[in-house]
């Protein structure tokens, strides 16, 4: 069981000279927040069991049907605390331009003063939990450690699933002497007193007033993307909002793909893809390494090697079904924390798209009225579960050196213009393709849903510094001797004249991945266009698919007039970043725009 301390006893917890800074910080936080007790978390089974029992006792977690979902629980958020709050998320750099126009900025001194006032005395009557954690395999040189201090046992339980948490992480912190500091309090869950502050120059995160995962599980978006992207730039690697999957062909050769999509645009579905029946018969397999975040570093052979810094999935539940993602559904049948889903009469979790049953209760705990026109599960309802439970989980996810990446894929929700798939001409073009990404907004963030916005590399909410410098960092990997992945763009969400999706998606997306890997190996054909190499319908295996003539024309088509307008708008987007925007990207845009106009 983890040790327990009063604030005045914190200084007695030293475990070595390298931990002096950690102990001093914990003591300083305790003096500021005034908790009743302090618990250093060790990540043990007994500690987890005690936390669960405590939360069951106070109603934070509701046990689900233990016959159908053993060791699984439901958590209901405050109704005003159900998604990331991008408008209240700040990057606090000394120089405002270092944060860039892609981030909300606040001066570090102002931000610290604001947060210190909020944190003052906020943990009275509560336990302060100290969570040492490692993002990535505990022995990987690509991994990085952090410590989150929180007053939420729900956060502790989720961090245990999502990270390598406890004694082993603390030992690595002692060896390395460096860690990201994260301070979190649920506060009063008042939307008017809610902020998520990032201090990249200090490797520090402060979050107040929210218990929602993306705002409170500080190892996730806050550390693994916003702070890590800043670390990655200074240390020569990439921290990206990407899934990682392996595609094994019938000959037993496996290629690994990293793919960036905005939240709730199908990353988890693609990461856990089950091949169509014909492909399965032939021997194709898909392996899941990660569904959300990817850290990549050049290896000695010039290739990019990637790890998934997370140990679990914090996935979107609505839409997950036996038809859309059988692997995800199988993963969450046990040992899972569900957040803001509905409930059936016999206490099973339920959400829209799951099955034909009618739930008894909605995500707020009210009796469900099927005639009210409101969903039973919140559109951003989540599940937290260990990645190892996934039937397609790859043991390579624990490899310290990471997996070699053959292809990088960008994509978003685009109802029009963008074809099913195209390939960038080279690395510089690929960076522009990622920078130009656009997508319709989803329920994963507060605000209007379905609005088209530019979301470079799916990192708009997560890049911890100026996008112009971020693009320059991407470009810097094109060095002599580098064997960089091919870059592609996909659009599973193209719609026809009737407003319906033209591509079946889900398992059939393997058909597109097969074409990509054929391009990687020099075996697949395509047609050259100004926007890149676009396959013809005959270049992609479509046997067994009932695609209409419109679908074939649109999915594999090239709309020159539409792309002319797109690249005109792209010029304005690049200009938003002023002189810091790399000349190489402007020149690449100009080259393609000239080709489009010449046609």
Q: Which residues are known binding-site members?
A: 84, 212-214, 221, 241, 263-269, 292, 380-382, 413, 506-509
DSSP letter (8 states) at residue 543: T
Binding residues for Mn(2+): 221, 241, 292
Question: What six digits make up the tokens of 310?
Answer: 């997370």
Start-end of H helices in 131-224: 153-162, 167-176, 213-216
Start-end of H helices in 292-374: 326-331
485, 567, 590 from 430: Cα distances, Å: 10, 15, 15
Separation of alpha carbons 403 and 244, rounded Å: 9
Separation of alpha carbons 62 and 355, rounded Å: 22
Residue 287: half-sphere exposure toward Cβ, Cα within 13 Å: 19
Which residue from 361, 359, 267, 349 is spatially nearest to 314, judged by alpha carbons?
A: 267
| Catalytic residue status for 145 | no
Geometric angle at alpha carbon 286, from 285 and 292, rounded to 5°: 175
Residue 534: half-sphere exposure toward Cβ, Cα within 13 Å: 19
**Backbone phi, psi, residue 594, to 5°:** -65, -40
Binding residues for GTP: 264-269, 382, 413, 506-509
128, 245, 464, 562 from 238: Cα distances, Å: 33, 17, 12, 32
Separation of alpha carbons 260 and 531, rounded Å: 19
Nearby residues of 64 by Cβ (< 8 Å), 6 or more positions away: 72, 73, 74, 338, 343, 347, 348, 349
Among the options 41, 134, 145, 265, which is catalytic? 265
Judge contact between 547 and 499, C-beta under 8 A: no
Judge contact between 63 and 77, C-beta under 8 A: no
Judge contact between 87 and 104, C-beta under 8 A: yes
Geometric angle at alpha carbon 293, from 504 and 119, rounded to 5°: 125
Start-end of H helices in 500-582: 509-520, 549-555, 560-575
Question: What six digits make up the tokens of 98?
Answer: 């270092």
CB atoms within 10 A of CB 18: 15
DSSP letter (8 states) at residue 42: -
Question: What six digits make up the tokens of 113?
Answer: 């003063």
**Backbone phi, psi, residue 26, to 5°:** -60, -40
Judge contact between 596 and 560, C-beta under 8 A: yes
Question: What six digits make up the tokens of 364?
Answer: 């707020």
Separation of alpha carbons 171 and 160, rounded Å: 16
Judge contact between 251 and 241, C-beta under 8 A: no
Instruction: Give residue for tokens 């939420």.
Output: 152
Give 237-286 as a 3 state SS string.
Answer: CEEECCEEEEEECCCCCEEEEEEECCCCCCHHHHHCCCCCHHHHHHCCEE
Secondary structure element (H or E) that encloses residue 183, with its range: strand 180-185
Separation of alpha carbons 124 and 9, rounded Å: 16
Catalytic center residues: 265
């Amino acid at each position: 069981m983890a040790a327990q301390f009063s604030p005045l006893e914190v200084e007695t917890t030293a475990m070595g000279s390298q931990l002096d800074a950690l102990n001093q910080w914990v003591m300083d936080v305790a003096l500021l927040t005034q908790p009743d007790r302090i618990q250093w978390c060790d990540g043990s089974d007994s500690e987890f069991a005690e936390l669960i029992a405590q939360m069951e006792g106070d109603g934070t977690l509701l046990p689900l049907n233990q016959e159908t979902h053993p060791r699984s629980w439901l958590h209901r958020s405050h109704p005003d605390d159900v998604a990331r709050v991008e408008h209240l998320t700040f990057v606090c750099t000394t120089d405002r331009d270092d944060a860039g126009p892609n981030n909300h900025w606040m001066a570090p001194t102002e931000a610290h003063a604001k947060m210190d006032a909020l944190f003052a005395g906020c943990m009275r009557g509560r336990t302060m939990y100290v969570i040492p954690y490692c993002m990535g395999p505990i022995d990987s040189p690509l991994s990085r450690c952090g410590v989150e201090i929180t007053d939420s046992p729900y956060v502790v339980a989720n961090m245990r699933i999502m990270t390598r948490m406890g004694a082993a992480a603390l030992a690595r912190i002692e060896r390395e002497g460096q860690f990201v500091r994260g301070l979190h309090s649920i506060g009063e869950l008042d939307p008017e007193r809610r902020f998520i502050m990032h201090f990249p120059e200090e490797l520090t995160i402060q979050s107040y007033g929210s218990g929602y995962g993306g705002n409170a599980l500080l190892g996730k978006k806050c550390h693994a993307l916003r702070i890590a992207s800043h670390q990655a730039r200074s240390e020569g690697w990439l921290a990206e909002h990407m899934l990682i999957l392996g595609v094994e062909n019938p000959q037993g050769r496996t290629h690994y793909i990293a793919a960036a999509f905005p939240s709730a645009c199908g990353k988890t579905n693609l990461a856990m893809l089950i091949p169509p029946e014909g492909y399965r018969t032939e021997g194709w397999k898909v392996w899941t390494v990660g569904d959300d975040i990817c850290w990549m570093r050049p290896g000695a052979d010039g290739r990019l090697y990637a790890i998934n810094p997370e140990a679990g999935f914090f996935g979107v539940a609505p839409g997950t079904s036996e038809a859309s993602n059988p692997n995800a559904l199988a993963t969450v049948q046990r040992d899972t924390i569900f957040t803001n889903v509905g409930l059936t009469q016999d206490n099973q979790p339920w959400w829209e798209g799951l099955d034909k049953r009618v739930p008894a209760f909605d995500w707020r705990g009210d009796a469900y009225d099927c005639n009210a026109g409101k969903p039973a599960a919140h559109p951003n309802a989540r599940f937290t579960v260990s990645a190892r439970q996934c039937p397609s989980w790859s043991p390579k996810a624990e490899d310290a050196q990471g997996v070699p990446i053959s292809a990088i894929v960008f994509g978003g929700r685009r109802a029009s213009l963008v074809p099913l798939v195209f390939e960038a001409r080279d690395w510089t073009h690929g960076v522009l393709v990622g920078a130009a990404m656009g997508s319709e907004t989803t329920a994963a963030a507060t605000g209007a849903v379905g609005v088209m916005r530019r979301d470079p590399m799916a990192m708009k909410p997560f890049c911890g510094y100026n996008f112009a410098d971020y693009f320059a960092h991407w470009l810097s990997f094109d060095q002599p001797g580098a064997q960089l992945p091919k870059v592609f763009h996909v659009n599973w969400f193209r719609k026809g004249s009737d407003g319906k999706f033209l591509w079946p998606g889900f398992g059939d997306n393997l058909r597109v991945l097969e074409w990509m890997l054929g391009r990687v190996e020099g075996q697949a054909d395509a047609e050259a266009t100004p926007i890149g190499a676009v396959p013809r319908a005959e270049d992609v295996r479509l046997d067994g698919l009932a695609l209409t003539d419109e679908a074939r024309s649109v999915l594999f088509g090239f709309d020159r007039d539409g792309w002319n307008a797109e690249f005109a708008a792209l010029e304005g987007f690049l200009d938003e970043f002023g002189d810091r925007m790399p000349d190489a990207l402007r020149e690449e845009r100009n080259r393609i725009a000239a080709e489009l106009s010449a046609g």
